[in-house]
């Protein structure tokens, strides 16, 4: 089948072949090496390669916050993708670095490996840069139970159900408290949600986030089935990812059947893993979702009394004045910022603004101080003796006008904050140059309180200006 390549560079026929919902173990297994034994819970390069081909394109950045022996970054390099990985323990990070240095890898692509806790190290990854996260988390305290179980069995104590179930060869990686594998399950889920939120921040709109997990049992504690894959999907959705797909990896070929629960209770051998596929909404999807969310929130607040609304506004440190629809609109805007902050609605708004700022700077640098003063006067902007400052004042104003003109209303939380910061600074400058009667006149027009000293009046007007700007 001919046709133009998809976003990932695949032809329609390659695309179709990879679209099976069950991965056959023979398609996703790779030869085992010594370091696999040292680690005990690696996935194969072939599996990572398959996901990388499906969900990313050449030159994209692929990320793994639980890097282990580096399988994800190795597969990324072999497929001409850049990559970033984080690993808590030095001994595994060293194996990963060693594998990356091997000459057999494809064209030299950039690979960054950070050592330490992924919840902290991920802060070094820039917003909106990752196309695909492909990872497999350590399995909460399941690993510890599994190891203890094996020890019990070795000592010949009474065999438990889990003892006969656990044929796994996983080892505890180390004793760090930051190790997700050492956390009790409910704490583990909390850490996963926290990490998902950070992954959401770094992911590009429309990018993917794929978690390889296996469900398991804790029969001793009367939990015959622990649905890890659904829990991962819930944590992802709590971080605003869409639950995009679910793939099963058949591992029957790799695992022998064991006798479970015989003769009293029947359990199946869980010889498969899941790939939980999450996706960050695209810009258009995000806009739709935000619209639905806005409507729901507006209805919800509509049922409340003015006093309740004012309490919420106070907690959110927002302006309390106005009629009920004003108050609701203000709370809903803030809710949207908090919930959808990192969605990156305007593709690279920041990049555009930076470019624009640089271009404007170049234009004004060519002008004399007199010409700049003339522009400043015409636009009624703050004065300064220094050419550098004059340019800054004019360019700031240009940026504001340009953004408003471009209708950049839906932007990320960070971007909104930055824009507001610049705007606030510019406005404070303008109003500071006015006298108190002029300020009172503006306050009267904006229907705001007139009393207070000059800084109070300025602050009140600027707050209102920021609200009027409606960056979200």
**Site track for ligand SAM across 389-428, x = CB under 6 A:** ----------------------------------------
**Under the criterion CB under 6 A, does residue 346 sit at the interface with ligand SAM?**
no
**Under the criterion CB under 6 A, does residue 215 sit at the interface with ligand SAM?**
no
CB of 185: closest distance to ligand SAM in angstroms? 15
**Site track for ligand SAM across 92-121, x = CB under 6 A:** x------------------------xx---
**Under the criterion CB under 6 A, does residue 356 sit at the interface with ligand SAM?**
no
**Under the criterion CB under 6 A, does residue 136 sit at the interface with ligand SAM?**
yes
- Phi then psi for residue 213, to 5 deg, are -140, 165
**How many chain residues are in contact with ligand SAM, going by CB under 6 A?**
22
Cα–Cα distance between 170 and 468 in angstroms, integer?
Answer: 57
Cα–Cα distance between 267 and 223 in angstroms, integer?
Answer: 13
Cα–Cα distance between 188 and 339 in angstroms, integer?
Answer: 23
- Phi then psi for residue 27, to 5 deg, are -80, -25
Report the chain's C-alpha Rg in angstroms: 28
> What angle do helix axes 324-340 and 283-302 make, rounded to 10 degrees?
140
Q: Which is nearer to ligand SAM, 65 or 426 (CB)?
A: 65
Cα–Cα distance between 280 and 201 in angstroms, integer?
Answer: 10
Residues 209 and 236 sit within 8 Å (Cβ to Cβ)? yes
CB of 135: closest distance to ligand SAM in angstroms? 7
CB of 70: closest distance to ligand SAM in angstroms? 6
Instruction: Tell me how far apart the terminal alpha carbons of the chain are, to the nearest angstrom.
Output: 44
Of positions 8, 71, 209, 410, contacts ligand SAM by CB under 6 A: 71
The region of 82-90, 218-226, 240-248, 295-303 touching ligand SAM under the rule CB under 6 A is 82-90
CB of 123: closest distance to ligand SAM in angstroms? 13
Scan for tokens 């869980």, then name that residue: 270
CB of 130: closest distance to ligand SAM in angstroms? 16
Q: Which is nearer to ligand SAM, 175 or 370 (CB)?
A: 175
CB of 431: closest distance to ligand SAM in angstroms? 48
The region of 171-179, 269-277, 375-383, 453-461 touching ligand SAM under the rule CB under 6 A is 171-179
Of positions 88, 210, 391, 419, contacts ligand SAM by CB under 6 A: 88
**Under the criterion CB under 6 A, does residue 198 sit at the interface with ligand SAM?**
no
> What angle do helix axes 90-101 and 71-78 make, rounded to 10 degrees?
20
For 172: left if phi > 0, alpha if psi spans -120 to 50, otherwise beta; the answer is beta
Sequence-separated contacts (24+) of 237-241 with Cβ below 8 Å: 237/278, 238/193, 238/196, 239/193, 239/196, 239/197, 239/199, 239/200, 240/200, 240/280, 240/281, 240/339, 240/340, 240/342, 240/343, 241/196, 241/200, 241/209, 241/278, 241/279, 241/280
Query: With 0-12 CB in 10 A as exposed, 13-18 as middle and 19+ as buried, what is 458?
Result: buried
Residue 70 CA from chain centroid, whole number: 21
CB of 193: closest distance to ligand SAM in angstroms? 14
Of positions 8, 28, 29, 41, contacts ligand SAM by CB under 6 A: 41
The residue at minimum Cβ distance from ligand SAM is: 68
CB of 90: closest distance to ligand SAM in angstroms? 10
**Under the criterion CB under 6 A, does residue 39 sit at the interface with ligand SAM?**
yes
CB of 139: closest distance to ligand SAM in angstroms? 7
- Dihedral (Cα; 402, 407, 411, 416), 10-degree rounding: 50
Cα–Cα distance between 70 and 425 in angstroms, integer?
Answer: 46
Of positions 66, 200, 208, 403, contacts ligand SAM by CB under 6 A: 66
**Under the criterion CB under 6 A, does residue 183 sit at the interface with ligand SAM?**
no
Among 47, 37, 82, smallest CA distance to 63 is for: 82
The region of 80-88, 222-230, 395-403, 440-448 touching ligand SAM under the rule CB under 6 A is 80-88
Question: Cis peptide leading into 72, omega within 30 of 0?
Answer: no
Q: Which is nearer to ligand SAM, 66 or 342 (CB)?
A: 66
Q: Which two tokens stand for residue 300?
A: 């919800």
The region of 62-70, 231-239, 330-338, 442-450 touching ligand SAM under the rule CB under 6 A is 62-70
Residues 60 and 14 sit within 8 Å (Cβ to Cβ)? no
Of positions 50, 76, 113, 138, contacts ligand SAM by CB under 6 A: 138
- Please report, as ranges, the residues that interact with ligand SAM according to CB under 6 A: 39, 41-43, 66, 68-69, 71, 86-89, 92, 117-118, 136, 138, 173, 178-181
């Amino acid at each position: 089948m001919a046709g133009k390549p998809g976003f990932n560079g695949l032809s329609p026929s390659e695309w179709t072949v990879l679209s099976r919902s069950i991965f056959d173990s023979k398609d996703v297994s790779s030869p085992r090496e010594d370091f696999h034994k040292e680690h005990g819970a690696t996935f194969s390069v072939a599996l990572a390669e398959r996901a990388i081909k499906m969900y990313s394109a050449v030159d994209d950045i692929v990320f793994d916050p639980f890097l282990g022996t580096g399988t994800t970054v190795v597969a990324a390099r072999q497929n001409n993708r850049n990559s970033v990985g984080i690993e808590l323990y030095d001994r595994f990070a060293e194996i990963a670095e060693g594998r990356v240095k091997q000459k057999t890898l494809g064209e030299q692509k950039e690979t960054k490996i950070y050592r330490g806790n992924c919840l902290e190290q991920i802060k070094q990854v820039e917003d909106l840069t990752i196309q695909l996260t492909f990872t497999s988390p350590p399995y909460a305290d399941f690993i510890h139970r599994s190891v203890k179980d094996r020890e019990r069995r070795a000592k010949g104590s009474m065999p438990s159900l889990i003892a006969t179930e656990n044929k796994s060869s996983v080892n505890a990686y180390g004793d760090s408290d930051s190790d997700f594998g050492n956390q009790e399950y409910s704490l583990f889920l909390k850490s996963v949600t926290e990490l998902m939120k950070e992954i959401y921040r770094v992911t590009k709109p429309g990018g993917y986030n794929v978690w390889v997990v296996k469900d398991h049992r804790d029969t001793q504690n009367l939990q015959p089935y622990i649905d890890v894959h659904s829990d991962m999907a819930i944590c992802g959705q709590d971080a605003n990812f869409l639950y995009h797909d679910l793939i099963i990896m058949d591992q029957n070929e790799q695992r022998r059947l064991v006798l479970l629960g015989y003769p009293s209770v029947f359990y199946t051998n869980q010889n498969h893993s899941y790939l939980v596929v999450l996706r960050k909404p695209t810009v258009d999807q995000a806009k739709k979702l935000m619209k639905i969310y806005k409507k729901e929130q507006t209805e919800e607040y509509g049922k409340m009394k003015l006093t309740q609304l004012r309490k919420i506004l106070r907690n959110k440190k927002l302006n309390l004045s106005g009629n009920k629809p004003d108050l609701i609109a203000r709370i809903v805007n803030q809710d949207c910022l908090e919930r959808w902050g990192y969605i990156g609605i305007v593709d690279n708004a920041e990049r555009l603004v930076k470019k624009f700022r640089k271009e404007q700077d170049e234009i004004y640098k060519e002008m004399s101080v007199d010409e700049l003063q003339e522009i400043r006067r015409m636009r009624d902007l703050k004065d300064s003796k220094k050419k550098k400052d004059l340019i800054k004042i004019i360019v700031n104003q240009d940026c504001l006008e340009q953004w408003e003109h471009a209708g950049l209303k839906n932007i990320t939380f960070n971007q909104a904050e930055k824009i507001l910061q610049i705007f606030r600074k510019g406005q404070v400058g303008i109003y500071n140059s006015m006298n108190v009667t002029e300020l009172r006149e503006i306050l009267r027009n904006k229907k705001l309180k007139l009393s207070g000293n000059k800084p109070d009046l300025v602050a009140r007007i600027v707050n209102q200006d920021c609200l009027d700007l409606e960056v979200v």
